[in-house]
Structures are given as structure tokens and as C-alpha cells.
A = this chain, B = another copy of it.
Amino acid sequence: MGEIFPSPVVIEGEDAPGRAVLVCEHADNSFPEIYGNPGIGDEGRRAHVAWDPGALGLARALAARLQSPLVRATLSRLIYDLNRPPGAESATPPRSEIYDIPFNHALAPPEKLRRVSQIYLPFHDALHGLLAQRMAAGQSPVLITVHSFTPIFEGRQRDTEFGIIHDQDDRLAKALARQDLGGLAVHLNQPYSAADGVAHTLALHATPYGLSHAMLEIRNDLIADEPAQAAMADRLAPAIIAAMKEAA
């Protein structure tokens, strides 16, 4: 059966009845030993470069309020970035933001292939299976991915607090941006957009099936701890429910 490796994916609440299917590709900053030492130090392991701080807590709080399943990663995105295709250098970046990532330097092809086979494929096959089973049952799942971004990027303060990114179908994203979000600074396709190659999960799982979708990007200083994540989920969940009624 080959080498034992840690599962890269956990589905929480698989049978939850809500229409939304939540995904958190950058949920975790774990580096299992079998993939080696990333060489970025403890500060790097805690930083945005390794994961999306706060995103998992927010995604879980949203899943509870939307009564929906959550598909989450268990490994750092520096081992394999699940929101990038296998051919992209950014799937296993040798540099990211201000960090050098030694264990991705001159990555040997068999090691790249191993990460694709052990991380990328099982994660996306699991998500594909969950969505396909819901479609087979006559449902139209709504795919919502949950991310966070840094307040300061390349030395510049970002004024977006909540970014909503879409792939080809913009209806849900626009409906969500129209909701009352209690004064949050909301911008469509900020701090980046599908044109930057950040909408891979949406392009792979929502667009081919015509499923409504959105990628939520929250500034990470707004979801730094569990009370903040719960408060943010209290603001976003009713808006998501209203937007799904309007546009999904």
C-alpha cells in the first residue's frame, strides 16, 4: 500500500444539511516530519506565509451558523498550496513575501510529484466527492472558501477589511457585497482576484458545475482570536444566507 503519510484533508460535518460547502485550504501551519524541515524558523511557521491565521476559526464558526460541512487542510501551504495547480511554481514556492523557503529550493521532481500525490490530489478528490454526492442527491451546493490576508503587504497598509473574490460567475459575490456588513470595508476582487491565479479551488470545483461560489478574504487582524472570529461569523453568516437566497 506504499508509504504511510498524514491525511491532508479533514471533512467536518460531512452530513450537515446546509447548502454551503466551506473550504479552508490554508487552515493549518503543521509541517509533518516526513516532508522535512522547511527552514523558515519559528517566526516563519507562525506567519501568514505558512497559513492563513484565523481562517480556520472563522470557517468553523461560519460552518456552525450555516449548518454546513467544512473541508479543511491539515498541512502548511508551504508544503503544497492547495489553491494552486500542480504546474505552478507558487504551489511549492521557493520564496514567499519576505521569506526564503529553503526546503522548496530546486525541488526535485520526485518530491514535487510526491506532494501532488499525497496532498493536492487527496484534498481535491475529497472535496470533489463531497460536492458530487450532494449534486447526485439533487442539491446545488454553494462553494465558499475562507481565507485571511495580512494588514501590511510589502510595506503598504491594506485598507480592504473584507475581500470577496469570484471565478467566472460573479452573482453570489456581488450579492454578498451588497448586504449590510456593519461598516466593514468590503471590496470585490481585493486584495487580489482570479486574474492573479488565486481562484484555483473555485475554478476546479464550482465553475465546471455551474455552482455559485465566492472566496472570502478577511484581514487577519480582525479574526485574531476566537471571540473575534465568532463576532465576525455573526456579521457574515446572515449576509451569506441572504446572498444565497438572492443569487444562488
Contacts and interface: CB of A to CB of B under 8 A. Distances in A.
Interface of A: 85-87, 109, 112-113, 116-117, 120-121, 124-125, 128-129, 132-133, 135-140, 200, 203-204, 207-209
A38 to B, nearest CB: 19
A130 to B, nearest CB: 10
Contacts of A124: 128
Contact of A86 (B85, B109, B117, B135): B135
A87 B138 CA distance: 6
Contact of A132 (B86, B128, B140): B86
20 contacts: A86-B135, A87-B135, A87-B136, A87-B138, A87-B209, A109-B136, A109-B137, A109-B138, A113-B137, A116-B132, A116-B133, A116-B136, A121-B128, A121-B129, A124-B128, A125-B128, A203-B207, A203-B208, A207-B207, A207-B208
A120 B86 CA distance: 23
Most buried by B among A138, A200, A208: A208
Chain A binding surface, main DSSP class = helix
A112 B200 CA distance: 29
Given A112-B136, A116-B132, A204-B208, 20 more contacts: A85-B208, A86-B133, A86-B135, A87-B138, A87-B140, A87-B209, A109-B136, A113-B133, A113-B137, A116-B136, A117-B133, A120-B132, A121-B132, A124-B128, A125-B128, A128-B128, A203-B207, A207-B207, A207-B208, A208-B208
A112 B136 CA distance: 6
